[in-house]
Structure 1
Amino acid sequence: MGYVMQPSRPIDWIRNAIRYTRHSPKRLDVFKKCVKAEKIDSKALLCLDIPTRWNSTYKMLDRAQKIEKAFNAFDLAHPNYRNNLRDGVPKVTDWSYARKLRNLLELFKHKTNNASATKYVTVNMFYIEMMDIYTHIRNMKGIDPESRLMADAMQNKFDKYWGTNNKGLNYILYFAAILDPQSKLGVLSFGFACVFKAEKKERDQRGT
């Protein structure tokens, strides 16, 4: 599933900080020295995300949050860093939010990896993976207002492909789940009953 990340000041600031450090070999070299000076045990290189790919945003935040102290040291070692970013230098609260978002996106990363595997059959796994994602999105709605907005957008994208109104769904995938001894028809029926019940409850609460 592709999804355009909702605008977020903390993530934008961290993204801009990464972009600044990667802008030239000289800046990157100074940053690497900051990583070493802070004795951070991480060999992962900084990377920028693609806003329409959850995995890339997860990867960007996962790498950056591990070396937060290096950004603070870089702020002192490279005066133009703060002059260029001005009020956009990531603060403690920004890093805290980034870690929370990183944790929320981690499940999507694992599910994508599972679905993209090439050394074993994955078609029979789609139902369990889909239900895990559905449950995760719904749980996100109860964390805080920002997470709910993000989850609502994710839910819309999810429903486009897997929702009850999708007319172009490939039902062969369901048969693959039914034929899997770990799933069978009973588990499939139970899962969709939970989905439909949850959707109806949410519609009733919104009065639609």
Structure 2
Amino acid sequence: MGTNWMNGDHLHVRCMTYIINLFIQDSLKESFMSIERVRHAVRYVRQSPARLKRFQKSCDDEQLSYKKSFCLDIPTRWNSTYLMLSGAVEFKNAFTNYASREIVLRHYLENSYIEVGVTSSDLLSSDWVQVKRITKFLKFVYLLTLKISGSLYVTSNIHFLEICVVAVYLNQLIASEDTDLSNMERKMKEKFDKYWGSQVSAKGTGPLDSLIQDLQKSKALNRGVDSRTELDKYFGEETEDDTKEFKILLWWKMNATRFSTLSKMACDVLAVPVSSVAFESAFST
């Protein structure tokens, strides 16, 4: 206590992987029935070589290449659910063709239980709409999770842009004309805001305002020829070009003599891990 600015409150960051998993749990719940029907259909086709051969015939009829097969997921690993659904969506027409000639598949679905007392029933066009919708979102967070689960680059200086991309993407989905999608993403945005919401209050008394005031007081006590605060000087700097070669931590190291206080804060804040979850646990639900 007392050794960090604001008692270290600005260093407290929720695990981004955990927040993403909360997103996923919400989205999977919204499409639970449709996902289960697709899962049962995939399981049925993969249960025997003869079924796979007949399914391949349906792919040929629909002029679909069967070189890229589909997998059966592990329900507790959402990345495998995404890979299963994305594969199944590609073969949507083949599944429809196969179901039309495979009456046993329809019986299988009608007698498969999603949960106690609830049978699967046949795959509907609305199920494919739901699955396509959730697959689009899962693809986005799947690629994001791969980035934030790396062992050497999980700090906030690298992934600040990724966090902003998530916010923009969620806002785009909320504005979608698809009412169901918009409602689903609105719930996710609420969770996102808890992770990366604004830390400045409407009245200007938030943690960031307090930090700026402390900097100004510090400068007033040690006033030199230039009365501008260190923060004022920093804001007056020209912006750097956004290139792959630009390294934010290296920039602060090179400018540490000009911004002694801010550079120390940058090293503290930008080194905060964005995720505390091991890679093998990142996709667990």
Normalised TM-score (structure 1): 0.64
Structure 1's unaligned 5+ residue stretches are 166-176, 186-208
CA distance in 2, matches of 1:21, 1:110: 28
Pick the structure with greater CA Rg. 2
Between stretches 138-147 and 73-82, larger displacement belongs to 138-147
The correspondence of residues 8-157 of structure 1 with structure 2, limited to 5 A, is 8=31, 9-50=33-74, 54-86=78-110, 88-117=121-150, 121=153, 123=155, 124-143=157-176, 144-157=178-191
The number of residue pairs the alignment matches comes to 170
**Residues 133 and 181 in structure 2, CA contact (< 8 A), matched pair in contact too:** no
Structure 2 spans left out of the alignment, 5+ residues: 1-19, 111-119, 200-246, 252-261, 263-285
Name the stretch that deviates more: 61-70 or 135-144: 135-144
Q: Secondary structure at the match of 2:71?
A: coil
Shift of 1:117: 4.9
Question: What residue in structure 2 maps to residue 6 of structure 1?
Answer: 29
The answer to whether the 8 Å contact 1:6/1:150 transfers is no
Q: Distance in 1 between matches of 2:189 and 2:76?
A: 15
Cα offsets for 1:105-160 (capped at 9, x unmatched)? 32212222333456x74633211111111222232223234223432443354355
Aligned residue type for 1:140: L
Higher share of residues assigned helix: 1
* Residues 19 and 48 in structure 1, CA contact (< 8 A), matched pair in contact too: yes
Change (3 A) 1:94 1:125: same
CA apart distance, 1:163: 4.5
Task: Give the root-mean-square deviation of aligned CA atoms.
Answer: 3.2
Distance 2:39 2:49 in 1: 18
TM-score normalised by L of structure 2: 0.49
Give distance in 2, aligned partners of 1:146 and 1:77: 32
